[in-house]
Chains A and B, each alone.
Chain A
Amino acid sequence: MKYVTRFRAAITATVGFAIVLVLWQVIGSAKLLGPTFPPPSSVIASLTVPYRRHLYIRASLATLSTAAWGYGIGQAGGLATALFGHLLPFSRAGLDRLASVIHAIPMIALGPLFMAVLSPAWAGTAIAAIGVFFVSYIAGCTAIESAAPTHRDLFQIFGASPLRRLWLLDVPSALPALVTGLRQAVPVAFLGTILGEWFGSAHGLGLLILSAMENFQIALLWSTVILCCGLSLVIFVLLGYVERIVGRHYR
């Protein structure tokens, strides 16, 4: 029964997606919404045209490396802060407040700050890191507390050393929440990078988006945005698979 429902859901989603694509194609090629709504065929043509391949690859690599640095720094910072708050409980209320303030700060408002403090190339990394930090801090706090108290008591009763308990209980039970945090931080890292690249970076997908927008290159604009979203989507889905495997093993 469950498989039938899932099958029907998949079929409906595929049909719906196809209908949207066809509608998009019709509206786009008839220019019903004006010249700024291109049909998918011309977006794909712009995405696959040979002379732009090099441009896309270079821009994607630049954005990916900026995003990866921001992602790594943000994750490390967030998890370290969560651990710090766990070890020193009196700092926890302040850390929570700080994290929610950081979360509420609009990423784009950080642009001038990081442009002044860092080089333009690192502004994207820094903004991405700030965004990832919050997601990772929340995931870290959930992860640390996810071992069941009864299991902890069991380890205590059998006289396990703290290190042994950490390795055999705390780390395995923290893994699922950690991987969820890893997955949810992916679009945030991309967003931070793109916003950073809008503040005068010399390369990357963000710059390509901005210049295509300002020069009215509509097909290029759409294809770059789709490329960027596609990259984020692929990494997100891959981490989703990792999450499922980890969840099956450790939950």
Chain B
Amino acid sequence: MRRFLARWWGPCLLLLAWQVGVQASGVNQIVMPHPMAVIMDIASNPLVYGRAAARTLLVAVPGLTAGLAMGGMLALLCQFSAVMEYLLTPLAMMLSSIPVVAIIPVLSRLFGYHMTTLVVIVAIICFLPAFVYMHAGLRSVPAGSLDVFSVFGASARMRLLLLRLPASVPSCMTALRIAAPTAILASLTAEYLMQTGGLGALFRITTAEFRSERAFGCSLVAMVLSVCCFFVALHAERAVTRRWQ
């Protein structure tokens, strides 16, 4: 219990502040529902929330996977061709300096309002951290190891298979950790804008209808989902990195 409190006092404090704040200020339930009312709404309509959350996950997980695969593939391509490297590195630098999620409206108009569009959008947005980290990972070989490989006359393919790919595993896990919450954010935002189902669409509709318990419930479920994804990815990263070193 003490260990739990030492780590989680922050979110607990926020929840307490919410309850106290609502009671002290006496605002209308429509404006700002009680945390208990929101939790009751979630508990009594598990199917509504569950279905929406499942739909969001159905977008986020394939999108994340595709984005990571795409980023990894392009990072590998950079290993083989200097031209690709010179072309892609400035692009990646540019993408990291702009608010990428803000281009979702453009992408949604471009690909049309379908479920696949959502997956494509999430993949494009997750591609960036994947590319940056895997690109760095493929180059983070131990000092001197490249010399050892060339002394023993290893081919480029051997060098890639036996040295660069294993060396990049921890960076791949970092990319996963960075991209996991981003995938949830991107799919929520795309759903919010395109209203194609999922938690994002549900909380846009309920906000517009002033059903604020449902809207706050959607927010809360989305937050918990995202935080869970982040911590799963974080623990996976730690486990893999520990075993790898």
Contact = CB atoms under 8 A, between A and B. Distances in A.
A78 interface: no
A213 interface: yes
Interface string B143-176: 0000000000000000000000000000000000
Contacts of A93: 6-7
Interface string B213-228: 0011011001100110
Interface stretch (A53-61, A144-152, A184-192): A184-192
Interface in A164-222: 186-188, 190-191, 194-195, 198-199, 206, 209-210, 212-213, 216, 218, 221-222
Interface stretch (B46-54, B103-111, B236-244): B103-111
A187 B97 contact: yes
A8 interface: yes
Interface string B4-34: 0011111100000000000000010001100
A206 B234 CA distance: 32
A213 B105 contact: yes
A94 B10 contact: yes
A90 to B, nearest CB: 8
A36 B189 CA distance: 20
Given A101-B227, A109-B219, A115-B207, A187 B86 contact: no
Given A112-B219, A113-B219, A229-B103, A33 B8 contact: no
A222 B6 contact: no
Nearest to A91: B9
A225 B32 CA distance: 33
Chain A at the B interface: SS class: helix
Contacts of B87: 12-13, 16
Contact of B97 (A116, A195, A225, A233): A233
A210 B189 CA distance: 12
A108 B86 CA distance: 35
Given A218-B109, A225-B105, A106 B226 contact: yes
B189 A222 contact: no
A236 B94 CA distance: 10
A110 B218 CA distance: 10
Top 9 nearest A-B pairs (CB, nearest first) are A98-B10, A12-B86, A191-B99, A104-B230, A236-B97, A229-B98, A16-B87, A106-B185, A213-B105
Interface of A: 8-9, 12-13, 16-17, 33-34, 36-37, 90, 93-95, 97-98, 100-101, 103-113, 115-117, 186-188, 190-191, 194-195, 198-199, 206, 209-210, 212-213, 216, 218, 221-222, 225, 228-229, 232-233, 236-237
